[in-house]
Amino acid sequence: MTFKNWLYDFVGIESSVKSVFLAASDETPEQHTLKVTPEIQRVNPIELERAYIFDPISFNSVNKIGQAIMSAGYEIRANDPDVKKYFVNFFSNIGNVGEDITFDEILDSIFRYQLIYGNAYVELVFNRADDKIVDLTLIDPKRMDYAKDSTEKIVLDKFGKPVGYTLSVPWGTDIKGKGDKIPKEYEGKISTGSDKIFLLPKRICHFKLYTYGDRFYGLGLIEPAYKSIVYKMNIEQANSNAISTRGNPPVAAAVGDERHEPTPQDIKSTLDILTKLSSSRFLAHQYWIKPYVLESKQSEGIDNSLTYLRLNQTASLGLPEAFATGAGEKTNRATLNNQQAFLEFTLNDIVKRTLETIRKYILQRICFYNGIKEVPEIHWGDIGAEEITDKSSRLNSYVKNGVLKPEEIHDYVINSEGLKGIESPKTHEQLINKPVT
């Protein structure tokens, strides 16, 4: 048994916590595979954020997914009630040390950031002695990246893990005393410049929604449809301009004929007359001046193009088009029910991935540094995209057919419908044996 193992056993840290911090021990097998920085050109996070802000379908879809996930609620569970109490208090006091934020806001932002950027970052805030975690705070994903060398390659250790992260700061910001010191063996490799600070991996929890290649970066829901979103917005803008033009078409005039050669003064005076049309219903001009309207015709392919691009976008977002656009009246109900089922698979998958990251890189680290013996779990509530009336009819049929008893589904209904303060139904024996008060 190594000294580290003996130390962890002595303080009572459970094996799941211990395993995370034994990566550098002699028990770790030597890794021979090599990881490389992905070379594919990704969409700039600023552009993804712009698509979320200015495109109604992206904005509505990301918000609806985030709201559906957060509305299910969550519960911290642990075998030891003292451990549960500790983490309930820890999460309740988030924001007292660093950023003004609650744990619910952090969770909500983690989900939304992953949907928009594909990545989310949370800093584990340590005390001054740098040996105990005292707070959590969000980091803007646009400002975070792995520590890289001068050729923009991610700097990795011998196990193929990133050596750390860099946080970009505005130009002119005083970064003296900020961040961590770069490890000696990587001092000549990592390039930070004057606008970045280096951060060790222990301070950062990196959430990645959907990964690819060597799994360095996450992929969100907007990026696969980014080009379709840009094309759609450009077509919509051009179409709006065309509609505005057709509603208020420009007026031109032909000046002169075979007997009247127009002079520059004739053309200028005609233009002055036409300019007054916007505020006057009457127009007088020489007979050789012929005003006419410049008409513009709508392209017949605009509607088909927009339909195709919106379909691409909703496919990437994973939402039924009726939910993403709000145009549910044209959707077949049976088809929509099937889409709702697949939507629930997507939402549960996102929650599962996120909770696994929270447990491994936040909860386990808090237990290790703060001396907690058990790693708790965050249990997420029921995520249902199904309509309340459909769910009610289905559950009611189960009870009528004797598949379930009312008391068996009571807690599920209370939690899924967000009802509080309602007592469980009493059985016949409980009612008979009820003490007289």
Residue 261: strand, helix, or coil: coil
For the chain, what are the domain ranges?
Answer: 31-221, 250-294, 394-424
Is 211 buried (19+), middle (13-18) or exposed (0-12) by CB count in 10 A? middle
Phi and psi at 254, nearest 5°, equal: -95, 120
Q: What is the pLDDT of residue 386?
A: 54
Is 327 buried (19+), middle (13-18) or exposed (0-12) by CB count in 10 A? exposed
How remote is the C-alpha of 377 from its chain's centroid?
22
Phi and psi at 296, nearest 5°, equal: -125, 135
pLDDT in tens, 39-61: 899 999 999 999 999 999 999 99
Q: What is the pLDDT of residue 400?
A: 79
CB atoms < 10 A from the CB of 307, how many?
12
Q: Return d(Cα 302, Cα 112) in angstroms, integer.
A: 32
Which has the closest alpha carbon to 98: 126, 119, 77?
126
Q: Return d(Cα 419, Cα 424) in angstroms, integer.
A: 12
Contact 113, 120 (CB under 8 A): yes
Q: Return d(Cα 92, Cα 83) in angstroms, integer.
A: 14
Q: What is the pLDDT of residue 300?
A: 65
Which has the closest alpha carbon to 179: 199, 164, 162?
199
**DSSP 8-state assignment for residue 414:** H
Terminus-to-terminus CA distance in the chain, angstroms? 63
Tokens 């998958």 found at: 349
pLDDT in tens, 305-352: 888 788 888 888 887 777 777 665 556 665 666 677 788 888 999 999
Q: What is the pLDDT of residue 422?
A: 46
Which has the closest alpha carbon to 88: 371, 80, 381, 126?
80
Which has the closest alpha carbon to 55: 120, 116, 141, 119?
116
Phi and psi at 234, nearest 5°, equal: -65, -40
Contact 69, 107 (CB under 8 A): no
Contact 340, 50 (CB under 8 A): no
Contact 166, 146 (CB under 8 A): yes
Q: Return d(Cα 34, Cα 217) in angstroms, integer.
A: 16
Give the pair of three-digit tokens for residue 179.
């961040």
Residue ranges, the chain, pLDDT below 70 = 1-29, 98, 241-248, 278-281, 294-301, 326-338, 384-392, 394-395, 403, 408-409, 411-437
Q: Measured between alpha carbons, how far is residue 400 from residues 203, 397, 417 in Å?
A: 54, 5, 20
